[in-house]
Amino acid sequence: MQARGWAALPVAAVAAALALLPQCSPEELVYEPSGGGSAGDGSAGSGGTGTFDSGTWLEVCGNGIDDDQNGLTDCEDPSCPDLACVDLAPSGWSGPVALQVGPAGTLASCPKGLQSMYSGHADLEYGPASCGACSCGSPTSASCTLQVSYYATASCFTLLATQSVGTGCVAGPAATVGGVRLTANDSGSCGTGTAPPPTLTPPTWKSDVQACALAGGTPTECGNGKVCAPLFAQALPCVYQTGDVPCPAGFPSRSVYYGSYDDKRACSGCNCSFSATCTGTVSGFHLSDCATPTFSGQSPTSTCVPGDTHSISATGVTASNAACTPSGSSPSGCVAPATPTTFCCSGGAPCPSGGGPDMVQVPAAGGGSYCIDSTEVTRKQYAAFLATNPSTATQSALCTWNLSFTPQNGAGSADDRPVTYVDWCDAQAFCAWAGKRLCGKIGGGATDFKQPDNASESQWYNACSAGGVKEYAYGAGPVSGICTNGSNSPVKSSPCCVGGYPGIYDLSGGVDEWEDACEVQGGNPQNDSCLTRGGRCDQSDQDDRDRRSSNIGFRCCSP
């Protein structure tokens, strides 16, 4: 049998075939003459196998053309099992695409028939700046100034007056003096300190991301607002939009990836501290004219000298051993992921969007996934909950003692700072109102109070540590100053305080967060000990279920 392909056909037959299919160029067509067998390297554009009858054209999956003339195009054709009818991308969104995520440098090119529409990254890691030692110039203008403080008691309590002492006789207060304290103050200048430029190690991305879409042609409409799109490997049909934004309806699985980073690592400025040794002698006198001594030859050492002293004179006051001591040049700043793109996919566990922060879908240790709030619940979001006048009667049996959801010190300004002064039951009630639950055990229920660092158990710890890998949400070790702690800063105000998975903020900053992890203490649930989380991923504190604090807030998970 002759070799398959175009060479196997007479020229006239090829011309006749093309006349029947004028919408297709030769390179888009695959022909199999009688006898069966494989169709070579062009049988399925998007991964389809390209089935055929003997002596027929094969379907090229993904080009929007009924190549095999069987009345079925792309998604309709059984020859294209790797295509599926999915929702059209909503207005303002791009797609649908198939999303690939894997370790950096391991992603293959888009499969045949698909083209890359987006390339990005996740899991940014970096080290702090390495800072050299500061140096200072030589000291100048060294001098010393004496100060005398007059007290009403011999032990130098109850200050009467303070004055500087120069040359000659200096009269003090007229009131009865019990003692004086003599102090020498050095002064001088050092100029500006200098430090070598910081040494910066390049940041690295631990994961790469690629979005693939049908290459060329016009995607086939499937009807009912759907379009034929690729469905392969670990990907489900997704849409994407530049920015860190909520997902549209119909695409509930949300992830955030990044195209660049913003490196603001530096070294703090240098300081130069002047110091000198002051020497000389001081004499005190009973009268204001320096005539009758009460003491003489005293060094200015801040020692209390008793006696009814009303005048002072000093001699030989000089500054020696002048020096400039450098300090500073410590690491500062961080590397923040930048140019975010939000991907929303139609499969996986849907993330609720009824209230509170936008959620991010994260993988669960051991398989599957769940959703976690991208930030702590804010005052504004909690105020929206209170505005619905929620009833405390709907609480669980653990919270029958909780008679109000209003924060202890009032709701405060409805802004983007994390809500605080809420107890465990307030947090649980908000999450239920938002269609979520207080973060607890992966798979449902409360997590083990005694296993706060179990990535296969705790939703909060798994998300913070990226499955038990990271010590802090933003990396393998602590970096000073990259996370703002406390409730006075808005959520997401520290752009480097992101992780363990992309798009989740302030797990290692902000305020501590309630977790659905409690231990019974006696018979009253109000007094049970519950975990609060924050800072280092495996770090936890124990607080009574009814505690309300300026440094305790929460976020929610689902399911």
Residue 166 lies in a domain: yes
Query: Do 319 and 176 share a domain, yes or no?
Result: yes
Contact 449, 441 (CB under 8 A): no
- Judge if 179 and 209 occupy the same domain: no
Is residue 510 located within the same domain as residue 543? yes
Question: Which pLDDT band holds residue 127 (cuts at 50, 70, 90)?
Answer: confident
Instruction: Give the domain extent around 146.
Output: 140-194+269-328
Give the mean pLDDT of 358-387: 91
Residue 98 domain flag: yes
Q: Give pLDDT, residue 76.
A: 81
Q: Determine, yes or no, domain membership for 159.
A: yes
Same domain assignment for residues 411 and 502: yes
- Domain stop point among 328, 344, 361: 328
Residue 54 in any domain: the answer is: yes
pLDDT at 89: 83
Question: What are 229's strand-pairing partners?
Answer: 84
Do 187 and 46 share a domain, yes or no? no
Same domain for 242 and 106?
Answer: yes
pTM of the model: 0.65
* Cα–Cα distance, 559 to 455 (Å, whole number): 16
If asked whether residues 389 and 516 sit together in one domain, one would say yes
CATH code of the domain covering residue 477: 3.90.1580.10
| Banded pLDDT at 286 (limits 50, 70, 90) | very high
Q: Are residues 274 and 362 in the same domain?
A: no
Co-location of 279 and 371 in the same domain:
no
Of 56, 30, 55, nearest in space to 42 by CA: 30
* 324 belongs to a structural domain: yes
Q: Are 300 and 280 in contact (CB under 8 A)?
A: yes
- Count how many domains the chain has: 4
Q: Which two tokens stand for residue 426?
A: 């307030």
- As a whole number, mean pLDDT of residues 341-368 equals 83
Rounding to the nearest 10 degrees, give the CA dihedral for residues 81, 86, 91, 95.
Answer: -30
**Could you read off the pLDDT of 515-557 as tens digits, one per residue?**
999 999 888 899 999 999 998 999 999 999 999 999 999 999 9
Instruction: Identify whether residues 538 and 466 lie together within a single domain.
Output: yes
- Residue 556 and residue 498 share a domain: yes
156 plus 273 within the same structural domain: yes
Tokens standing for residue 526: 């109000």
Mean pLDDT of 467-486: 84
Position 171 scores a pLDDT of 92
Which position has the token pair 């034929």? 228
Q: Which range, of 343-357, 365-379, 386-400, averages the lowest pLDDT? A: 343-357
Answer with the one of 215, 230, 256 that is the final residue of a domain: 256
Q: What percent of the chain has pLDDT over 90?
A: 41
522: left (phi over 0), alpha (psi -120 to 50) or beta: left
Residue 437 lies in a domain: yes
303-329 pLDDT, tens per residue?
899 999 999 998 888 888 999 998 888
Evaluate whether residue 131 is within a structural domain: no
Q: Does residue 413 register a pLDDT over 90?
A: no
Q: Please report whether residue 132 resides in a domain.
A: no
User: What is the predicted pLDDT for the residue at 516?
Assistant: 96
DSSP of 38-61, one letter per residue? Answer: --GGGS-TTS------TTEEEP-T
| Distinct helix (H) and strand (E) counts, the chain | 4, 29
Task: Write b or e for each residue in 214-242: b if 16 or more Cβ atoms lie within 10 A of its Cβ, otherwise e.
Answer: bbeeebbbbeeebbbbbbbbebbbbbbbe
